């Protein structure tokens, strides 16, 4: 029976993957929710100022990365008291459609609300879903921008306590759209993709976080991992493992700093079958969660230094890589044992910038694996190709300073030989670069 379940799961994942192409990036964590790209032939020799710019557009506030299916790019951002959803041509940047709606812009700790939840595109139905700060969940037809269905989460399920508005990305899973709603009696909700009808609600006391649900596998069966949270005193939150058939919760692992202003924002990282890594900042750090044959979770090992505020680590070939929140420290852990292989502060790395050598600090940096190497994006606009070996440590292949602006926090997007970067401060814009290897 277990073998049959595994075969069924492999078949389901194969069908899902077949609906996507190498150049698609329909979710902010990439086509397989693991920050890996299948593209090859990318430019590894970065010029000092970065690869050639194909097009760029001014954008409003927000940290939500764009998503791509085929030749369509969708992004969400905010200007004044409006949230704006746009669809553009990936090659030219030409606008195809736009939708605007009013929102109440709140503020906490001097930080204004702005979109943090990237859109997500379903390749099967050609629908794109957005979740705004106030809980506006909207399904658009990708080709036309026509609204297929919509709901307001606060009105439908009740409010959830959050610091900066809602910011967890929805998850497309088969014919379901799964959302960390975080409202009373509806911690996680499954909507039917085509209609918006509620299929199931998972009840748990934890509220909505800024981390996004991801698919995983436990004992050969599909599961959804949700790192929940909320703005509560005392703080609460942690990992939930759910059965996508009916929303049954197998188990919960509390994981949240005792600091009131802490947030759970980095998405869970499945590390093969029966293991998932979770991390948060504000002193608690990370932990590897292992599942037994009874599907119950337990903490296998802890990683206090891999404390990620919202940047999601990446799992590759038995190892976990990520930027800790303190000073952009890059770390490598062995997944099986929890042994730390190395740490690298990059204190020796500089890049040329306006006639001087600029010391690099990755801060809340992001990693993407593509074309046999790791692409790193620092929070101030530094782009670096890295060779990350568990045995040798990190090696810089090339580096560029694309611009110098703080809060470059969205992970880079790679699609059809193009690189898309969000600059969020000092002239907020979305920039499309030619990322193909230069002709000999």
C-beta separation of 262 from 256 below 8 A: yes
Count CA within 13 A, CB hemisphere, residue 114: 19
Residue 156 belongs to what H/E stretch?
helix 153-157
| pLDDT, tens digit, 9 for 90 and up, residues 171-194 | 999 999 999 999 999 999 999 999
Burial class for 162, CB neighbours closer than 10 Å (0-12, 13-18, 19+):
buried
Cα–Cα dist 250/242, whole Å: 6
- In the sheet where 127-131 sits, what is the strand order? 120-122, 127-131, 136-141, 147-152
| pLDDT, tens digit, 9 for 90 and up, residues 305-345 | 999 988 999 999 999 999 986 668 999 999 999 999 999 98
Mean pLDDT, residues 124-135: 97
Cα–Cα dist 115/306, whole Å: 26
Cα–Cα dist 200/401, whole Å: 47
Query: Pick from 430, 425, 415: which is nearest to 363 by CA?
Result: 425
pLDDT of residue 325: 67
82-89 and 356-359 as β-strands: parallel, antiparallel, unpaired?
A: unpaired
Query: Pick from 307, 297, 249, 216: which is nearest to 34 by CA?
Result: 216
Give percent above pLDDT 90 in the chain.
83
pLDDT of residue 113: 77
Query: Pick from 241, 201, 212, 204: which is nearest to 225 by CA?
Result: 241
How far, rounded to the nearest angstrom, does the alpha carbon of residue 139 sit from its chain's CA centroid? 19
Q: What is the DSSP letter of 261?
A: T
Identify the residue whose tokens are 């990282």.
269
Cα–Cα dist 399/153, whole Å: 43
Mean pLDDT, residues 130-152: 97
Q: Computed over its alpha carbons, how large is the radius of gyration of the chain?
A: 20
pLDDT of residue 21: 60
Residue 15 belongs to what H/E stretch?
helix 2-18
pLDDT of residue 18: 43
Mean pLDDT, residues 290-300: 97
Give percent above pLDDT 70 in the chain.
94
Query: Pick from 213, 215, 138: which is nearest to 181 by CA?
Result: 213
Cα–Cα dist 197/69, whole Å: 25
Q: Rounded mean pLDDT of the chain?
A: 92
- Classified as helix, coil or strand, 273 is coil
| pLDDT, tens digit, 9 for 90 and up, residues 65-109 | 999 999 999 999 999 999 999 999 999 999 999 999 999 887 778
Q: Which domains does the chain have, with CATH numbers?
A: 2-434 (2.130.10.10)
């Amino acid at each position: 029976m277990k073998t049959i379940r595994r075969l069924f799961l492999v078949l389901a994942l194969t069908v899902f993957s077949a609906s996507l192409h190498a150049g698609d990036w329909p979710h902010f964590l990439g086509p397989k929710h693991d920050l890996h790209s299948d593209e090859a032939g990318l430019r590894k020799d970065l010029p000092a100022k970065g690869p050639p710019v194909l097009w760029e557009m001014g954008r409003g506030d927000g940290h939500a990365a764009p998503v791509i299916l085929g030749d369509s790019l969708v992004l969400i951002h905010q200007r004044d008291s409006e949230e704006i959803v746009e669809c553009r041509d990936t090659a030219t940047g030409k606008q195809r459609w736009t939708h605007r709606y009013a929102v109440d812009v709140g503020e906490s700790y001097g930080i204004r609300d702005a979109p943090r939840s990237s859109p997500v595109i379903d390749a099967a139905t050609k629908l794109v879903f957005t979740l705004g700060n106030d809980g506006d969940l909207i399904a658009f037809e990708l080709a036309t921008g026509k609204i297929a269905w919509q709901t307001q989460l606060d009105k439908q399920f009740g409010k959830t306590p959050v610091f900066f508005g809602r910011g967890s990305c929805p998850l497309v899973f088969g014919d379901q759209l799964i959302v960390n709603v975080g409202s009373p009696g509806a911690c996680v909700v499954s909507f039917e993709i085509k209609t918006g009808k509620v299929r199931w609600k998972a009840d748990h006391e934890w509220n909505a976080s800024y981390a996004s649900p991801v698919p995983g596998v436990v004992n050969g069966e599909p599961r959804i991992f949700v790192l929940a949270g909320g703005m509560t005193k005392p703080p609460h939150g942690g990992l939930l493992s759910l059965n996508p058939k009916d929303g049954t919760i197998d188990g919960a692992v509390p994981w949240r700093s005792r600091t009131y202003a802490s947030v759970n924002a980095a998405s869970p990282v499945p590390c093969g079958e029966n293991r998932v890594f979770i991390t948060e900042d504000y002193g608690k750090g990370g932990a590897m969660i292992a599942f037994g044959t009874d599907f119950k979770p337990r903490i296998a090992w802890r990683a206090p230094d891999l404390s990620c505020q919202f940047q999601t680590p990446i799992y590759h070939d038995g190892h976990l890589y990520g930027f800790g929140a303190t000073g952009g420290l890059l770390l490598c852990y062995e997944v099986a044992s929890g042994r730390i292989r190395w740490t690298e502060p990059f204190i020796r790395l500089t890049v040329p910038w306006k006639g001087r050598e600029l010391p690099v600090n990755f801060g809340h940096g992001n990693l993407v694996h593509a074309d046999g190497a790791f692409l790193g994006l620092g929070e101030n606009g530094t782009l670096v190709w890295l060779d990350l070996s568990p045995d040798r440590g990190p090696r810089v292949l090339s580096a560029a300073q694309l611009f110098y602006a703080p809060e470059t926090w969205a992970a880079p997007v790679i699609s059809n030989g193009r690189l898309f970067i969000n600059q969020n401060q000092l002239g907020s814009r979305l920039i499309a670069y030619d990322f193909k290897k230069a002709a000999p």
